[in-house]
Amino acid sequence: MINKEEALNLQIEELKKNYQNIIKLLGEDVNREGLQKTPERVAKAMLTLTRGYEEDPNEVLLSAKFKEDYHQMVIVKDIDFFSLCEHHMLPFYGKVHVAYIPNGYITGLSKIARVVDIFSHRLQVQERMTLQIKECIQQALNPLGVMVVVEAKHMCMQMRGVEKQNAITTTSDFSGGFKQASTREEFMNLITHK
């Protein structure tokens, strides 16, 4: 049986070989001084950008779940994120805003941002990431409602393809109390008024 560190080294080695090949196929000289360590750097960078597969967001929320008699909206807004679109493996990035209405339990505020980090560090589409964040909070805390809004720019739309530099995609998903238009409005007002 190989241990975790040996498995990681094998994974880096395998990725490194593949990136050497990719760099060659792109017409570059992998032995050029500036590129010699690039395959290994890219391998490690990609493992960082996809580290969310190794982490359990549910566990993160439960690790700081506190009994509390607060039943109003809790909002964590402007959570920066970077993700990779699963179609082009190019970054999409922006902000996530989360609100939930506790039902006996609250979670540590940083844990909401950690959940965003975990789901964004996977190959994603914005819609699925939005839904996964919502469902995870709903399952772990069983609140009276959750709402997630994601605003993002997609580099696959900026650097290539349609080449629109300023297009912003907004997605949202909600449950429970946020099915009421007035509750959604309260949240939207609080996140849009800086």
Task: Choose which of 44, 65, 88, 153 interacts with Zn ion (CB under 5 A).
Answer: 88
What are the binding residues for Zn(2+)? 85, 88, 156
| Residue 136 a catalytic site member | no
Is there a catalytic annotation at residue 185? Answer: no
Q: Whole-angstrom Cα distance, residue 175 to residue 99?
A: 11
Contacting residue, 156, 158, 175, 176, with Zn ion by CB under 5 A: 156
155 counts as binding Zn ion under rule CB under 5 A: no
The listed partner (ligand GTP, Zn ion, none) that binds 126, CB under 5 to 8 Å by sort, is ligand GTP
Q: Does residue 157 bind ligand GTP (CB under 6 A)?
A: yes
The answer to whether residue 155 forms part of the interface with ligand GTP (CB under 6 A) is: no
Residues 6+ apart with CB under 8 A from 125: 85, 86, 87
Which of 49, 48, 36, 40 shows the shortest CA–CA distance to 19?
40
Q: Does 59 bind ligand GTP (CB under 6 A)?
A: no
Among 93, 156, 158, 176, binds ligand GTP (CB under 6 A): 156
**Beta strands of the chain (E only): which ranges?**
65-67, 74-85, 91-101, 105-107, 123-124, 145-154, 169-174
Binding mask 91-130 for ligand GTP (x = CB under 6 A): -x--------------------------------xxx---
Q: Which is nearer to Zn ion, 85 or 137 (CB)?
A: 85
Q: Which CB contacts under 8 angstroms, 24+ apart, belong to 185-193?
A: 186/73, 187/73, 187/75, 187/97, 187/99, 187/147, 187/149, 188/149, 190/73, 190/75, 190/77, 190/99, 191/75, 191/77, 191/78, 191/97, 191/149
- Would residue 87 show up in a list of annotated catalytic residues for this protein? yes
Q: Verify whether residue 86 is a known catalytic residue.
A: yes
Identify whether 40 is a catalytic site residue: no
Residue tagged active-site, from 20, 85, 124, 132:
85
Contact criterion met (CB below 8 Å) for 137 and 116: no
Residues that bind ligand GTP (CB under 6 A): 85, 87, 92, 125-127, 154, 156-157, 161-162
